[in-house]
Amino acid sequence: MLDIKFVRENPDLVDKAMASRNSSWDRASFLELDEARRACITEVESLQAERNNLSKQIGKLMKEGKADEAAAAKATVAAGKERIAELESKRAELEKALFDLVSRIPNLPNEDIPYGKDDSENVEARRWGTPRTFDFEPKAHWDLGPELGMIDFDRGIKLSGSRFYVLGGMGARLERALINFMIETHAAAGFKEWWPPVIVSRDTMFGTGQLPKFEEDAFHVSGDMFLIPTAEVPLTNLHRGEVLDASQLPLWYTAFTPCFREEAGSAGRDTRGIIRVHEFDKVEMVKFATPEDSMNQLESMTAEAEKILQLLELPYRVVTLCTGDIGFSACKTYDLEVWLPSYNTYKEISSCSNCWDFQARRANIKYRDPANFKGTRFVHTLNGSGLAVGRTMAAIMENCQNADGSITVPKVLVPYMGGVEVITPEA
């Protein structure tokens, strides 16, 4: 979340930032709550000063035999004490309301990202690889999957409902191969692997910005717990409430988890195949960095995600998200979009974001660097997909298909597939 002091001192800047995001915030309520809070503080300080003064006088009045005046002073002190308690209670309510209001304000976009209203105004940064030209009519992964016995949509719907599917045979094996390949590649680059829980608390979801704003997109389970929408949530919260040492930074973490999203508001979008579903596998990267280094860490994280696509020999492009398309917690985001023949365009397969200190404030993650400053500062947190496994499978199936309906396994995956080089229809 944003620094409340910063919001108080820069409401015009917040107005401008929210306008660039096609968003808004309740400026009037913020200023009203903040003014009421400060009024409480001022009155409490005045009453405390009066109480201290009267307390000193009471002893003197008693010594002078002025019992009536001393009793009156004691009554005033008692009344002041009651009033202070009322004001402190009111102040706590106002501060909670202020905190709740600010917690719903998205992050400020970084100054160097493009201004735009939506994803149509994102800016392409670079491309890698050339989309394949087929000498036959290529099939979509939602046709190839059932034909090869890799994906069963009907049984997924039978088991769980719409936007679910089942992987079988070489589909299950390819999913597992991709997960192991991605994790091992990131681990070799220096990322520490974790295996976090996929059910987390409300505080954990709040820490990364999923709550309260996006509660309708989350899957609830019993006890006010939630299924994670991404491993970013537990990985970032590993250090919630902690003070790290500067010598530890940057920290590089990675994890594979299933992810769960309600996909509220996505009716009619990507209804076929495995591009937009309620449950999917993803390998995630998370970093903790100093403010001075976080933008460098964003570039290296993006390059790490690109490396996966390059090793798989899948054509892709990198786009810089504009102000109107970046996520709630992000200040700058690169999207990696892989080429999918079935769409005849590029589709998102990874988002790599720098969140500055936005999540660290929510989760209270700080670091100490005595050589350079006194006290503590908030870390910067970053996250990125490395990659979305189902979308990667779809991209492999479509880009590596053959005229006979088989799929050539990318060379880098063959060892993870037990030597299988070509996936053919099940007997």
- Domain 4-103 adopts which CATH fold? Helix Hairpins (1.10.287)
User: Where in the sequence of the chain do the CATH 3.30.930.10 domains occur?
Assistant: 119-423
CA–CA distance, 22 with 357 (Å, rounded to integer)? 22
Give the per-residue pLDDT at 266: 57
The two beta strands, 380-388 and 366-368, are: unpaired
Measuring CA to CA, which residue among 406, 178, 164 is closest to residue 309? 178
Encoded amino acid at 102, one letter: V
Q: Is 261 a catalytic residue?
A: yes
Q: How many residues does the chain have?
A: 427
Catalytic residue among 284, 337, 391, 398: 391
Biggest alpha carbon–alpha carbon distance for the chain: 110
Q: Which of 83, 132, 276, 377 is catalytic?
A: 276
State how far the Cα of 174 lies from the Cα of 171, in Å rounded to an integer: 5
Residue 208 Ramachandran class (φ > 0 left, ψ -120 to 50 alpha, else beta): alpha
Q: Check 37, 51, 173, 261 and give the catalytic one.
A: 261
What is the architecture, at CATH level 2, of domain 119-423? 2-Layer Sandwich (3.30)
Q: Is 45 a catalytic residue?
A: no
Backbone angles phi, psi at 165, to 5 degrees: -150, 170
> What is the residue-level pLDDT of the chain in tens, covering all 427 positions?
999 999 999 999 999 999 999 999 999 999 999 999 999 999 888 888 877 677 667 666 666 667 677 677 677 777 778 888 888 999 999 999 999 999 999 999 999 999 999 999 999 999 999 999 999 999 999 999 999 999 999 999 999 999 999 999 999 999 999 999 999 999 999 999 999 999 999 999 999 999 998 998 999 999 999 999 999 999 999 999 999 999 999 999 999 999 999 976 555 666 789 999 999 999 999 999 999 999 999 999 999 999 999 999 999 999 999 999 999 999 999 999 999 999 999 999 999 999 999 999 999 999 999 999 999 999 999 999 999 999 999 999 999 999 999 999 999 999 999 999 999 987 5
The answer to whether 240 is a known catalytic residue is no
Q: Catalytic residue among 348, 368, 377, 406, which?
A: 348
Task: Give the per-residue pLDDT at 64.
Answer: 65
- CATH 1.10.287.40 domain span(s) along the chain: 4-103
201 belongs to the catalytic site: no
Reading the block at residue 202, the tokens are 């409300």
Task: Determine which one of 351, 353, 362, 398 is catalytic.
Answer: 351
H-assigned helices in 148-259: 153-160, 170-188, 202-207, 232-237
Catalytic status, residue 93: no
Report the pLDDT value the prediction gives residue 86, as an integer from 0 to 100: 86
The candidate with the shortest Cα–Cα distance to 157, out of 31, 15, 272, 67, is 272
Residue 204 DSSP one-character state? H
- Closest residue by Cα to residue 182 from 399, 401, 396, 402: 396
- Burial-class residue 338 by CB neighbours within 10 Å (0-12, 13-18, 19+): buried
Check residue 249 and give its pLDDT.
98
